[in-house]
Structure 1
Amino acid sequence: MLTRRHTLKLAAAGLAAGAAPAFAQEDWKAKYPELIFAIIPAENASGVVERYTPFINYLSKELGTKVTLRIANDYAAIIEGQRAGNIHIGMYGPASFARALMTGAKIDAFAIETNIDGTKGYYSVFYVKKDSPYQKIEDLKGKNLGLVDPNSTSGNNVPRFALNSMKIDPESFFSKVVYTGSHENAIIALSQGTVDIAANWWNDEQESNLLRMARKNMAKAEDYRIIYKSEQIVNSPMAYLTTLPEALRAKIRDAVLNIATKDKVAFDKIYEGKQGPLVAVDNKAYDPIIELNKFVDELRKKKSS
């Protein structure tokens, strides 16, 4: 596992969720007749809508107020939306959440995804086509690299960290570095030959973005090979505005942390039985990711100087 200064490590998260005081009045409903829940674009928009609509309906019912799903155009959009206070609840990747904290967003992480075995981490991987001759990163000099988004953890920051440890500068080593916009698009770019190697997220042998695409008949998982896997990264968080009334935040926490049992159908629609329940977390779990972001920022500064 990587150290905080030089690598990633899986941060433990075990804070109790807490509960709203019994006497708390729901006077927040007049001020918040609608809550905006936004998510980073990890897959195409129609896929996000299908996956999250039952959850949005569940959350609306539990809170007793309208909740609207918003799919961010890119990772930066959800950060800016929460900075401006226009997005009340956000589903992030680790690096985008850390970036939001670094840029002054008044938000708190309150729930984290877990794996079936209870762990709270995933990996960044590099895929190549199965029938390609490439066996290691060094074999791809002069080829095209597919990344996801500048604020993606597994799709940019961890890959850049890993390449730097191999003494590889992506912009000079590869012929072209392409930001594809989503993890699905990165696989599509690889399948179409737009890129020769693509970064992506991978949980374990049972779940990854590639396997999700395969279940939707968007790709054949057996057509690709992993040639690099990172150290484990702390899983993705859900975060709400700290400016929301505590009674409302408590209701949101309770609803989200109990969805796996209260509405298993909605929960399974999101994770398809491939992940464990959401559990409590706090901002400190993402301190190592803030350090990673700072490291990548320094790399950019060195290149531009």
Structure 2
Amino acid sequence: MSKPTLFRILGLVVAAALILAACAPAATPTPEAPPPTEAPAEPTQPPEPTATPEPTPTPEPQIGSPERPIKVLFVPSVDAEKIVASGQLLAEALNKATGLTFEVVVPTSYAATIEEMCASPDDTIGFIPGLGYVLAEQLCGVKVAGKAVRFGYDWYAAMIVVARESPYQQVADLNGKKWAYPDAASTSGYLYPLYMFKEAGITPGESVAAGSHDAAIKAVYNGEADFGTAFFSPPRVDGKAVDWEPGQNPDVPADLLDSCGPTQDEKALVCGNFEIRDARRNLRKELPDVAQKVRILATTPKIPNDTVSFGPDFPEDLMQKIMDALFAFAQNDPEGFAKALEAYSWTGINPATDAEYDPIRLAIQASGFKIEDLGQ
């Protein structure tokens, strides 16, 4: 084969190869591996809540502190101004002896006094009569700790008084007559006379709550009631207590009656050497002739004297501290003690127990008296 022919054949082969290469499909690129998929993250947990600190409680003021004074409650058996004036002296004396703070309070009635002691069981002291104590003990557990002494006596009685010129000579004469009494929670002013009337078969006519022992006597003095009831304490003769018992003559001897009147210093009501110690003495300044105008018709059996009582939850240690101070006050400064309790005529104080007031409980049962009878 000649060279030119050979070159032509090779040229054709190369050309054919080039044509075939140009017509062949393009090579498929190898796909790249996708990046590895990350595992989904765990869900984010909410943070633990931060505990809110408990607020620090404000401490209760201590009983007997200036922020929480001990309430000394006095029943309104006489004029409230007199009670507050003398009661403040007592509060100051007790503060000096104990370091405790006291507040003098005169509620509007005997019932309100009892209600306050039950409503404030751990910071109240009550100077309350026997009936009030018995009812308060029954109602909420009030505790008795002391009782009054009046000129040597730790008992008293109730008296029925009438106008000196009235025709009434015995209790039976009072049937259907108008009665003025201090308050339905007064032992001497209401409970014992009520018991006496029921025993005697007497039914008073109109009954009027005068508001205090003084007011009940004034109602008789002024002719606003036929008879009144109030507390009775035995008289003194020549400045000394007499050995008086219920049933004996309680009133001024007839031959001394014209001489009755307040002493020059107005501290006592006397008729010669006979000193009146019953409720009439409280009117010696306002009504100096009260003894000449109002007489005692009758008296009742003995009644345990008024009490110093404490709320049912009153702290025992504070109660003892206060009672020790009262006993010491009466013993070491009898004049100061008598002045501090002048409104109630206390001259001393003795310890008292609950059992001593059982006679009042018996009178309550016999008379049918109920706590609802206290009124407001």
**Range of TM-score over shorter length:** 0.7 to 0.9
2:290 is matched with 220
Tell whether the 8 Å contact from 1:111 to 1:256 is kept in structure 2 after alignment.
no
Tell which deviates more after alignment, 78-87 or 177-186.
Answer: 78-87
Tell whether the 8 Å contact from 2:155 to 2:302 is kept in structure 1 after alignment.
yes
Q: 1:282 aligns with which of 350, 353, 360?
A: 353
Q: Kindly tell me the number of residue pairs found equivalent between the two proteins.
A: 269
Q: For residues 157-168 of structure 1, what are the structure 2 equivalents within 5 Å?
A: 157-168=191-202
Q: Does residue 105 of structure 2 align to residue 70 of structure 1? A: yes
Q: Does residue 93 of structure 2 align to residue 58 of structure 1? A: yes
2:119 is matched with 84
> What SS does the corresponding residue of 1:258 show, helix, strand or coil?
helix
1:13 is matched with none
Tell whether the 8 Å contact from 1:29 to 1:65 is kept in structure 2 after alignment.
no
Tell whether the 8 Å contact from 1:147 to 1:199 is kept in structure 2 after alignment.
yes
Deviation at 1:75, TM superposition (A): 0.4
Q: Name the CA distance, whole Å, in 1 between partners of 2:229 and 2:327.
A: 30
Structure with the greater alpha carbon radius of gyration: 2
Deviation at 1:186, TM superposition (A): 0.3
Q: For residues 1-305 of structure 1, what are the structure 2 equivalents within 5 Å?
A: 30-33=62-65, 34-85=69-120, 88-104=124-140, 106-117=141-152, 119-170=153-204, 174=205, 176-206=206-236, 207-215=277-285, 217=287, 220-269=290-339, 270-271=341-342, 276-297=347-368
Tell whether the 8 Å contact from 1:112 to 1:278 is kept in structure 2 after alignment.
yes
Q: Name the CA distance, whole Å, in 2 between partners of 1:300 and 1:53.
A: 30
Deviation at 1:272, TM superposition (A): 8.7
Greater strand fraction, Structure 1 or Structure 2: 1
Q: What per-residue deviation string (whole Å, max 9, x for no partner) do you get for residues 158-186 of structure 1?
A: 0010011111123xxx2x11111110110
Question: CA 1:272–1:167 in 2, change beyond 3 Å: closer, same or farther?
Answer: closer
Residue 130 of structure 1 aligns with an amino acid whose one-letter code is R
> What SS does the corresponding residue of 1:164 show, helix, strand or coil?
helix
Deviation at 1:137, TM superposition (A): 2.3
Deviation at 1:217, TM superposition (A): 4.5
Q: Name the CA distance, whole Å, in 2 between partners of 1:69 and 1:278.
A: 19
How high is the TM-score relative to the length of structure 1?
0.81
Q: What per-residue deviation string (whole Å, max 9, x for no partner) do you get for residues 73-129 of structure 1?
A: 10001111111126510001111111111212x321111112333x32111010011
Deviation at 1:216, TM superposition (A): 5.4
Tell whether the 8 Å contact from 1:40 to 1:71 is kept in structure 2 after alignment.
yes
Tell whether the 8 Å contact from 2:77 to 2:212 is kept in structure 1 after alignment.
yes
Identity of counterpart residues, as a percentage?
Answer: 23
Residue 363 of structure 2 aligns with an amino acid whose one-letter code is L
Deviation at 1:228, TM superposition (A): 1.0
Q: Name the CA distance, whole Å, in 2 between partners of 1:116 and 1:227.
A: 23
Q: Name the CA distance, whole Å, in 2 between partners of 1:90 and 1:272.
A: 15
Deviation at 1:268, TM superposition (A): 2.0
Residue 93 of structure 1 aligns with an amino acid whose one-letter code is P
Tell whether the 8 Å contact from 2:214 to 2:282 is kept in structure 1 after alignment.
no
Question: CA 1:298–1:215 in 2, change beyond 3 Å: closer, same or farther?
Answer: closer
Q: Name the CA distance, whole Å, in 1 between partners of 2:320 and 2:335.
A: 23
Question: CA 1:123–1:31 in 2, change beyond 3 Å: closer, same or farther?
Answer: closer
Tell whether the 8 Å contact from 1:127 to 1:197 is kept in structure 2 after alignment.
yes
Tell whether the 8 Å contact from 1:111 to 1:257 is kept in structure 2 after alignment.
no
2:31 is matched with none
Tell which deviates more after alignment, 288-297 or 197-206.
Answer: 288-297
Q: Name the CA distance, whole Å, in 1 between partners of 2:334 and 2:224.
A: 39
Deviation at 1:188, TM superposition (A): 1.4
RMSD: 2.5
Tell whether the 8 Å contact from 2:145 to 2:307 is kept in structure 1 after alignment.
yes
Question: CA 1:187–1:209 in 2, change beyond 3 Å: closer, same or farther?
Answer: same
> What SS does the corresponding residue of 1:103 show, helix, strand or coil?
helix
How high is the TM-score relative to the length of structure 2?
0.66
> What SS does the corresponding residue of 2:233 show, helix, strand or coil?
strand
Question: Where does structure 2 lack aligned partners over 5 or more consecutive residues?
Answer: 1-59, 237-276
Q: Name the CA distance, whole Å, in 2 between partners of 1:158 and 1:48.
A: 24
Deviation at 1:196, TM superposition (A): 0.9
Residue 309 of structure 2 aligns with an amino acid whose one-letter code is A
Tell whether the 8 Å contact from 1:123 to 1:229 is kept in structure 2 after alignment.
yes
